[in-house]
Each structure stands twice: as structure tokens, then as C-alpha cells.
Amino acid sequence: MGLELFNTFILLLLVAAALVALKVRDLITASVVFGIYSFLMCLLWAEMGAVDVAFTEAAVGAGISTVVLVATVFNLKRKSSD
């Protein structure tokens, strides 16, 4: 039961993180919140027993893809119209 509660909690946080990442107007903030989203996803997979997938997501999703997004946004306009 405890694990199920944990699962539910992370799933709801995931939806919230996805909505926030798409709602904020500052693109750097959006990138960082997307990193949070990736890390929550990694937590969820570790909990489901997919350790290799969780490891990859922690390194790739929360690490490299956030860095690459931030690096690109620095070369673009930081503000978004929506």
C-alpha cells in the first residue's frame, strides 16, 4: 500500500511538472522544470523495477537534455509568447 501511495504521488507530480514546464513564459525555467519532470520519471521507473531505464533517464533526461536545452535557449530569445 505504501508503494502504491508513492506511485500515485509521483504520477500526480509528473502531470503538474509537465503542465508547469509548458505554462511558464521563461524558457530557461521551462527547461529546468523539464529536468525536474525527467527526474520524477526516473524515480517512477526505479520504483517500478526498471533500474536500467531509470539510470539512463537520470543520466540522459535529467542531465544531458536539460544542459542542451539551456545551452540552446541562451543562443535564442529567452522569452516565449505563450
Partner 1 sequence: MKAASMVPVFLVGFLLVFAATDFPEWGNPQSPASDSPVSSHFIGKTGVDTEVPNMVTAVLADYRGFDTMFETVVVFIAGMAVLAILKNSVKKGSVRRDHEVDAEPDLIVTNMVRLIVPVIQIFAFYVLAHGHVSPGGGFQGGVIMGASFILIALSWDLETALARFSLNRCMGVAAAGILIYAGIGIFSMFLGGEFLDYAELERVLPVSREMARYHAMLGVEIGVGCTVTAIMFALYANLSSEGKLEGGL
Partner 2 sequence: MFEDGAILNELFLERLNYLIYVVLLLIGLYAMIAKNNLIKKLIGMSVFQTAIILFYVSIGVKEDATIPIYLPEHDPHGEHAHARGGPEALSRGQVATYANPLPHVLMLTAIVVGVATLGLALAVSLRIYQGYGTIEEDELLVKLEREDARTRKAEFPVADSPKVESKRKPVAKRVSKTGKSKK
Q: Which of residues 33-62 bind partner 2 (CB under 8 A)?
A: 34, 37-38, 41, 44-45, 48-53, 56-57, 60-61
Q: Which positions touch partner 1 (CB under 8 A)?
A: 51-52, 54-56, 59-60, 63-64, 67-68, 70-72, 74-75
Place of cell 511538472: 17
Footprint (CB under 8 A) of partner 2, residues 14-33: 14-15, 18-19, 21-22, 27, 30-31
Grid cell 500526480 — which residue?
A: 12
- Are the C-beta atoms of residues 59 and 68 closer than 8 Å to each other? no
Place of cell 524558457: 27
